[in-house]
Amino acid sequence: MPAIRLIVGLGNPGIDYADTRHNAGFWFLDQLAQREKVFFHEEKKFQGEVARVRLAGQDIWLLKPTTFMNRSGQAVVALALYYKILPEEILVVHDELDLMPGCMKLKKGGGNAGHNGLKDITEKLSTPNFWRLRLGTGHPRSLGMAQPVADFVLHAPSSEHKEMIQECIAAALKTTNDIACGDMARVQRSLAKYGSPKPKTNPEKNEEQ
């Protein structure tokens, strides 16, 4: 498989959104950058914050779009075109309603499941043929909540669910050398134990959101 040359973390810019579920992709990239001791800088031509790391001998761009979620594709396609990066060389890390907290999956292509960031990236790249690391946040219905989805993703998870998401991020970060080399089958095997739903605990049901 082709090596990954661009890792995109999805989220919304600004302190008001920093701790929200929709920013799980930003959390992943921030921790990767911190581990590798690199710093993000604003790149207006790419409409995002950009950093570069070297993993397993490969140079990889890190991108946090600053366009807000529903226009994420503008940033992705701008950087990809500039550096001649193909869709199959892109990994997008994002929050996933269809997986419970503590679950994650790596997949290539497929639908967008109502995720506006993925939808815009697919439209701007003219293909769904890019990799996705799906970090489970749960869906308000699966968590027994009446909260509208749009409101749910723009609020912070409970401390318990945040810890479960962070456990997934920590495990995924251990696979970044394999990601860099494009050995996605090995990454999928490494993350397979996180693919099954966790027991349904809901510390959020009675919280004011």
Q: What is the pLDDT of residues 26-83, one digit of tens each?
A: 999 999 999 999 999 999 999 999 999 999 999 999 999 999 999 999 999 999 999 9
Residue 202 lies in a domain: no
Q: Classify residue 199: in a domain, yes or no.
A: no
The span from the first CA to the last CA of the chain, in angstroms, equals 43
Dist. CA 66–CA 46, nearest whole Å: 9
Whether residue 198 is contained in a domain is answered as no
CA 149 to chain centre: 18
In a domain, 61, yes or no: yes
Q: Looking at the domain assignment, is residue 205 inside a domain? A: no
**Structural domain includes residue 130:** yes
Identify whether 209 is part of a domain. Answer: no
| Confidence band, pLDDT 50/70/90 cuts, at residue 125 | very high
Active site annotation includes 115:
no
The closest of 144, 156, 137, 133 to 198, measured between CA atoms, is 137
Bridging pattern class, strands 58-65 and 6-9: parallel
Contacts of 74 (CB under 8 A, 6+ apart): 47, 65, 67, 120, 124
Asked if residue 201 is part of any domain, the answer here is no
CATH number at residue 74: 3.40.50.1470
pTM assigned to the model: 0.93
Number of domains in the chain: 1
Packing angle, helices 24-36 and 159-173, rounded to 10? 50
Q: How far apart are CA 187 and CA 25, in angstroms?
A: 17
* Residue range of the domain that includes 94: 6-193
* Of 161, 107, 122, 110, nearest in space to 139 by CA: 161
How much is the mean pLDDT over the chain?
Answer: 93
Q: Which of 22, 94, 115, 139 is catalytic?
A: 22
Q: pLDDT tier at 197 (50, 70, 90 boundaries)? A: low
